[in-house]
Structure 1
């Protein structure tokens, strides 16, 4: 196997839709990410075909020009099935690919389905309620501060903060706005103040490596009450620092991540977002799983690449271990 095709959507692919806005469609792969993956695959001795969208892939199929293997970076937009489309089509075409399959991509994207699975597994996640499209909200949530977000989006799209002091009508207005923007159920989730930690892992049957970074303010302080919504991510002002998962207060994060890697395998690689509550962050503090990113970014300056570097792996090493992890399961 020498030829690898890369599936991805550019900004122009996503924003060509007349209804597209950055607030609802921010799903494209950054040019730096695609170029970094392609450049390092080439350096590893592979012929790289920048296929782009699923439409381009199907055109390759019609022309009988399919590659032997696909590096899947496709996430699409505006559908609760969007991340599952590429693996479903690739399975039908009989082409092996990197990353999770249709089932795991769909489950991890749809948080209203994921959360009951986490509860069944005995994994702590913030308490929540679900507001379906058109559902009347007649009662206030039990929590003073909540996160409102579409049930099947990523990159903090649509994420808003609601506080009980603003009242029921404001809650109804915010949820109605999200329903109109995303045409999807909305989760109302208790806000957990504390540390925000991302765990990254590569592997299926056993982890090739695992590590973590913590998001902190420009002063290096814990996030506590701050929220990483889309505006905050665009604005910047946050840093990432390495953290040691062997510390007693963080061991639970490692255990949860490895448990879910086994439950959901094959994933090949993923990141897991946690909030660790309380002020002194002792071993008794609670670690809440917020999200599983089965389509984690491979941008060389983002979390997974930084975690790999923490484990003594260059970016090229990261690309190689992901590829070898994926090839092993297909073989």
Structure 2
């Protein structure tokens, strides 16, 4: 490769036959653990859907759980390439970097972002600072690590009337509940303490944005492409809406997903531009999901960006928005593989002519 985004066209492409799907298997929370402790992990059905789709392209596919036997299992499988779904073990904010760093140390190419981008993107405060420095709109936010930070709440509520309180480095709406909007310093303090107690990490206070929630899928590398977008709304409209943990768990009854035709064309263009800009600013690779809320003036602001988006064909947002935008699940997986193979200088004969591998 001549850089991280593409392969020197004069270098012959290396063939791939064996692919391992690396994952963390969802399990029930133990005694004393929050019930959403393993919310980010995948059920076996999702892992099998990814594996079966990749196998349909003609590859030999193995499942490789990131558990206590991960290293010997990985070396025994000796994959030519890894489809990484693993969120990482433990609670540290660098956990999503675990598998990428291991694969880099073993010189095994994989799909998705590297460890540095994974770790930064999981930390919502660092993500916001990075995007803001690039001129990409984000909400006003502040981090609360301990008691010494609480006095600033009074001043923050002079600037905005409502804030969402969430964990600083969690995904899958962990720690975001239907009552996570705080309307006063006292309410904010109560919810901040809940984050400290429940998750053992800093809380992030983020201004509540009253407009629509829209999520955008991105694939590619140096020239990221928009894989689709959708508007997320409650089935029963209400004045304050959060796409919370409870809403996601009961999405069939509570949530309405509308495709890109529900979004005005000028706004679609703006969302795509900001999503691609965020993808480049964080130096992401192959895939990401970028979540927006519109502020009171209709400006889309990024509230989260996930370089390791869920890939369940049934309930994950990226496959849903891709389907609502006219795509299919196999096409989505194919496009992610195409991007990663091109970047790593790997041959993928199953790709159709003209597939976007950049």
Separation of aligned partners in 2, 1:304 and 1:210:
8
SS of structure 2 residue aligned to 1:24: coil
Q: Which has the higher contact order (CA 8 A, sep 6+)?
A: 2
Partner of 2:242: 227
**Distance change in 2, residues 1:134/1:91 (3 Å):** farther
Separation of aligned partners in 1, 2:147 and 2:17:
51
Q: Does 1:314 align with 2:332?
A: no
Deviations 1:75-114 (A, max 9, x none): 0341101111110111111111111110110011001111
Alpha carbons 1:125, 1:288 under 8 Å: kept: yes
SS of structure 2 residue aligned to 1:179: helix
Q: Does 1:175 align with 2:192?
A: yes
The answer for unaligned runs of 5 or more in structure 1 is 279-283
The TM-score with structure 1 as length reference comes to 0.89
Partner of 1:68: 80
Q: Does 1:330 align with 2:344?
A: yes
Alpha carbons 2:165, 2:188 under 8 Å: kept: no
Alpha carbons 2:132, 2:138 under 8 Å: kept: yes
SS of structure 1 residue aligned to 2:37: helix
Alpha carbons 2:21, 2:62 under 8 Å: kept: yes
Matches within 5 A, 1:197-212: 197-212=214-229
Partner of 1:100: 113
SS of structure 1 residue aligned to 2:148: coil
Q: Report the number of matched residues.
A: 319
Separation of aligned partners in 2, 1:230 and 1:310:
22
Which residue, out of 151, 162, 172, partners 1:155?
A: 172
SS of structure 2 residue aligned to 1:119: helix
Partner of 1:111: 124
Which residue, out of 278, 282, 302, partners 1:260?
A: 278
Which residue, out of 137, 144, 160, partners 2:150?
A: 137
Deviations 1:182-235 (A, max 9, x none): 12111101100111000001111223443201112226x5x7621111122223
Partner of 1:40: 53
Separation of aligned partners in 1, 2:283 and 2:161:
37
Q: For structure 1, which segment, 175-184 or 186-195, has the greater mean C-alpha deviation from structure 2 after superposition?
A: 175-184
Q: Aligned-residue CA RMSD in angstroms?
A: 2.1
SS of structure 1 residue aligned to 2:150: coil
Q: For structure 1, which segment, 25-34 or 79-88, has the greater mean C-alpha deviation from structure 2 after superposition?
A: 25-34
Alpha carbons 1:54, 1:86 under 8 Å: kept: no
The TM-score with structure 2 as length reference comes to 0.83
SS of structure 2 residue aligned to 1:22: coil
Return the offset for 1:19: 4.7
Partner of 2:293: 275
Partner of 2:19: 4
Separation of aligned partners in 1, 2:256 and 2:195:
29
The answer for unaligned runs of 5 or more in structure 2 is 1-15, 346-358
Return the offset for 1:122: 0.8
Q: For structure 1, which segment, 308-317 or 96-105, has the greater mean C-alpha deviation from structure 2 after superposition?
A: 308-317
Return the offset for 1:136: 4.3
Separation of aligned partners in 1, 2:91 and 2:126:
17
Alpha carbons 1:209, 1:308 under 8 Å: kept: no
